[in-house]
Amino acid sequence: MMKKILHTYKYEILLFALIQHLFSGIFLTDMAFYTKVIWPINMLILGVSSAGIFIEKGKWKKIIKAILSIGAVAFPLCVPFFGSNPIFMTALNLSLAVFYLFIFIEVLRFLMKPSYINKDIITASACGYFLLIEISVFLFQIFYYANPNSFKGINTEFSVANSANVFMDLVYYCTITLTSIGFGDITPNTHVTKLLTSFLGVTGQFYSVVLVGILISKFTSSNSKNH
């Protein structure tokens, strides 16, 4: 029963899981509690929610997905113990960036295939956008934990509670960069983060433009078949 639900509503469930992970901090003020309790729960929800996308995939994709999901849950559980260690946080962020990238590739493959447009196409498109935010957040956190001065406007203190603040600051930063808003309260401070931010902005625009083209072509193709 659970497997059927995950497969039938895979993109709706994934979309909900991504939104709750990125924006559940809106309702919380205790950042230590968020890091120790909420974040591991969020990642568990994401691990389960993303399983629906891989139900009909090959054996090796399922194995890789299972390994990445275990890491996505296990690493956050260890943050209360090793959250002030830059090496551990770098490994955590690299693992999560790969986890989200793996899911993003599957979502993108789905978007490119069908010649029709339906609710799965729409929700998968939204999932792709939020997955880009997730990937960019954890990539930027790799550079932050290697050099806390990689960004201006983000606290440079290493602590369990501050790891949640850093995550939320970078969710905000990556979102406004992908959407080309750019308020300027957080800015890149090294040549690497400046170039990555530029690439992120281009990626956001490219995804939006290509996505609109895909949706229009699918809609046109669907209308042509109906007539």
Every domain of the chain and the residues it spans:
2-226
Q: What are phi and psi of 152, to 5 degrees?
A: -90, 140
| Cα–Cα distance measured from residue 79 to residue 73, given in angstroms and rounded to the nearest whole number | 11
Any idea which residue has 């959407």 for tokens? 179
pLDDT, position 22: 94
If 0-12 CB within 10 Å is exposed, 13-18 middle and 19+ buried, where does residue 72 land? buried
pLDDT, position 67: 94
pLDDT in tens, 54-70: 988 888 998 999 999 99
Q: What are phi and psi of 187, to 5 degrees?
A: -135, 150
> Quick one: pLDDT band at residue 161, thresholds 50, 70, 90?
low
Q: How far is CA 47 from CA 24, 51, 58, 69, 208, in A?
A: 17, 7, 18, 5, 26
Q: How far is CA 174 from CA 64, 70, 139, 177, in A?
A: 27, 25, 10, 5
10: left (phi over 0), alpha (psi -120 to 50) or beta: alpha
Whether pLDDT at 8 is above 90: no
pTM of the model: 0.91
Q: What amino acid occupies position 35? A: T
| Cα–Cα distance measured from residue 41 to residue 217, given in angstroms and rounded to the nearest whole number | 39
CB 39 within 8 A of CB 17: no
pLDDT, position 160: 65
Whether pLDDT at 159 is above 80: no
Instruction: Quote the strand ranges of the chain, DSSP E.
Output: 151-152, 187-188
| Cα–Cα distance measured from residue 140 to residue 30, given in angstroms and rounded to the nearest whole number | 23
pLDDT in tens, 77-105: 898 888 778 889 899 999 999 999 999 99
CB 179 within 8 A of CB 95: no
pLDDT, position 186: 93
What is the residue-averaged pLDDT of the chain? 88
pLDDT, position 219: 66
| Cα–Cα distance measured from residue 152 to residue 162, given in angstroms and rounded to the nearest whole number | 15
User: pLDDT over 90 for what percent of the chain?
Assistant: 49
| Cα–Cα distance measured from residue 141 to residue 196, given in angstroms and rounded to the nearest whole number | 12
pLDDT in tens, 179-204: 888 888 999 999 999 999 999 999 98
